[in-house]
Structure 1
Amino acid sequence: MKKIRVVLVDDSPVALFVLKKILSRAEHIEVAATATDGRQALSLIPMVDPDVVCTDLHMPEMDGLELTRRLMEAFPKPIMVMSAVDGNAERTFQVLQAGALEFVDKPAGLAEKELNDKAKEIIDKISVLAGVKVFRRRNRQSQLPSLAGQGQPITVPAVIGIGASTGGPTAFAEILREVISVPVPIVAVQHMAAGFMNAFVHHLNGFSRIEAKLAENGEKMRPGRIYFAPEDYHLEVERGGCLRLTRAAPLEGHRPSVGVLLDSLARQYGADSWGILLTGMGKDGAAALKAIRDAGGYTIAQDEASCVVYGMPGEAEKIGAACRFMTPRRIGQLLACLGTDNR
């Protein structure tokens, strides 16, 4: 079997040593080259032609953000950012907007427990990204989507639920850039590396015209806001519009779980709810999306061409959970239509 070839970019010799040690555990991955800053990486990556690039964010000469921008313009590759959780986490989301596909919290040290905690996450993400096709970034124009369903009438719901995993931060950003206002509350789950959820919400509020916030237990939803599940908490919606946070067991390895959120919408709101499933590995949320559709609600999955990983939406397609498949931008345009007279 052909090995996944990885280029590591980090100005810290210790970090490079740790990452090499982690990747040496995977027989199907090899470190093809290393670089100590973005400028050096930019010159060697076209020669090495790796399957995946793993880069630090903060480096001298050329940082991970500029490296990502230049690679995606000239020699696009699947890029994973290795970044420590710090007060400048906003730049992590800027690099995702520039074209990076994933990020993980950088291992803090050489202790065996720390390595074990991070090794599976890093190896799994590299394995997934190696199969992702990336392209030079282009601005595409599209018309506003029709609100006419495929044989199913669409009405404005009481609540909308959205879930995402790998590639989700960029998909959420594309959706929210299209929305000026929305007359209903939105509840959301984004699988996120530990320590980044607050920064993600802050990042969205830097450009979103509807407020993004972390959900609070017992809080009553308000129209025109998007409520995200906090780190390590399931988010559910009760019939009266109150949010419920729980530390119940992870569902299929996830807490928060998209499935838990969408299941609560199917139970409590049924036909008066919408469910949207975005890019991500695995199948979290697919069965719950079908539960919403079976209850008479309207359901959307991100289309395969625009997904970083067509896992969750792909599972939704297999089981007939989605009424429509759309790009994130078109989903945003559809949500924007809810706040107009175009219904």
Structure 2
Amino acid sequence: MKKIRVVLVDDSPVALFVLKKLLARSDHIDVVGTASDGRQALALIPMADPDVVCTDLHMPEMDGLELTRRLMEEFPKPIMVLSAVDGNAERTFQVLQAGALEFVEKPAGLAEPELKDKAKEIIDKISILAGVKVFRKRRQAGLAGLPTVLSPLPGFAPAMGIGQVLGQTLATPAVIGIGASTGGPTAFSEILREIPADYPVPIVAVQHMAAGFMSAFVHHLNGFSRIEAKLAEEGEKIRPGRLYFAPEDYHLEVERSGCLRLSGAPPLEGHRPSVGVLLASLGRHFAAESWGVLLTGMGKDGAAALKTIRNTGGFTVAQEEASCAVYGMPGEAEKLGAACRFMAPRAIGKLLAGLARR
């Protein structure tokens, strides 16, 4: 079996020592180089030709954000950011929008069993990222790496009704559920830029995210979203024009009454929160009155539940392969025939925004 080649980038010798010791637990990963900042990494990576780059975010000379931008412009590689949670939400999610695929909290030390759990998480993610094909990414102007002015999408005239876009008549749903994993923060950002302030439908969502980052993600979205994003609370009732995210380590479900329920039930297919748990509750309680959206991500979480929504008469969308960071979850939805349409995130945003114009 061919070993996965990894380059580690961190200005802390201790962090590099810990990470090398951690990755040595896997017999299919080979650390082929280390660098103490982004400039060294840019010189090293073309020669080492790694399958995955693991970098810290905060470094002198050139930080992880600029390194990610330069790599994705000049020598694209799957990038995993390993950094401490510091509350700088904008910086954290700029690096994901620049092209990094994963953001994982850096291990604090060598204590067991914490390091054992962290080792498994990082090794599993490196193993998956090594198989991801990435593409050159041109730098764009504007907030969080996105263009300031968005050009019209083909087939989406501003005054076009939602039925005209889809070639079919659709009832306004009672609730919309969205699920995402790897690459999801960028997809959510593109969707929310299209949603107007007077949005008539509540949205509930699950984003797989490393521990400690969910609050920062919601804060980041509220920096530009015209609807309020928030962490769901037990028993609260969903309201139009709000986006409710499952908190860390809790499943999220919606009852027929519109009340949110949080659960510490066992993970589903390794995930808590689970996209499948959320979408299944919509199919069960709202059927044809629900819409389901499945975005980029590793694995198959949510695909079967998306099929349930479609089978009960609800409308379903999955992210198209060309725009996905990882075509795992949408790809599984395609295999199951779970999605009525496959679209890019901006097109999904315009589709959802059309509900406000009806």
TM-score range with shorter-chain normalisation?
over 0.9
CA distance in structure 1 between the aligned counterparts of 2:137 and 2:188, rounded to whole angstroms = 17
Matching residue of 1:174:
190
Partner of residue 177 from structure 2, selected from 154, 161, 165: 161
CA shift, 1:82, in A, is 0.4
- Is the 1:166–1:280 contact (alpha carbons within 8 Å) kept by the matching residues of 2? yes
What are the superposed Cα offsets for residues 196-231 of structure 1, whole Å, 9 maximum, x if unpaired?
A: 100000011111111110011111111111100001
What are the superposed Cα offsets for residues 106-135 of structure 1, whole Å, 9 maximum, x if unpaired?
A: 001011312201111111111111111222
| Structure 1 residues without counterparts, runs of 5 or longer | none
CA shift, 1:137, in A, is 2.2
Structure 2 residue 330 is matched with structure 1 residue 332: no
Between 136-145 and 240-249, the greater mean CA deviation after superposition = 136-145
Give me the TM-score of the superposition, normalised by structure 2. Answer: 0.91
Matching residue of 2:247:
230
CA distance in structure 2 between the aligned counterparts of 1:258 and 1:249, rounded to whole angstroms = 14
- Is the 1:150–1:323 contact (alpha carbons within 8 Å) kept by the matching residues of 2? no
> How many pairs does the alignment contain?
341
Matching residue of 2:27:
27
Structure 2 residue 49 is matched with structure 1 residue 52: no
Matching residue of 2:13:
13
CA distance in structure 2 between the aligned counterparts of 1:78 and 1:187, rounded to whole angstroms = 29
Give me the TM-score of the superposition, normalised by structure 1. Answer: 0.95
- Is the 1:144–1:330 contact (alpha carbons within 8 Å) kept by the matching residues of 2? no
Matching residue of 2:144:
none
CA shift, 1:151, in A, is 7.4
Structure 2 residue 200 is matched with structure 1 residue 183: yes
CA shift, 1:261, in A, is 0.6
CA distance in structure 2 between the aligned counterparts of 1:258 and 1:97, rounded to whole angstroms = 22
Matching residue of 1:264:
281
Partner of residue 239 from structure 1, selected from 256, 262, 271: 256
Between 182-191 and 301-310, the greater mean CA deviation after superposition = 301-310
Counterpart mapping for 1:241-256 below 5 A? 241-256=258-273
CA distance in structure 1 between the aligned counterparts of 2:328 and 2:252, rounded to whole angstroms = 22
Helix, strand or coil: the match of 1:300? Answer: strand
CA distance in structure 1 between the aligned counterparts of 2:267 and 2:135, rounded to whole angstroms = 35
- Is the 2:89–2:219 contact (alpha carbons within 8 Å) kept by the matching residues of 1? no
What code does the residue aligned with 1:309 have?
A: V
Runs of 4+ in 1 over 6 A off after TM superposition: none
Helix, strand or coil: the match of 1:226? Answer: strand
CA shift, 1:88, in A, is 2.3
CA shift, 1:35, in A, is 0.1
CA shift, 1:310, in A, is 1.4
CA shift, 1:291, in A, is 0.7
Q: For the structure 1 residues 7 and 302, does the alpha-carbon distance in structure 2 shift closer, same or farther, using more than 3 Å as the test?
A: same
Identity of aligned residues (%): 80
CA distance in structure 2 between the aligned counterparts of 1:207 and 1:43, rounded to whole angstroms = 36
RMSD: 1.6
CA shift, 1:73, in A, is 1.6
CA shift, 1:87, in A, is 2.5
| Structure 2 residues without counterparts, runs of 5 or longer | 141-149
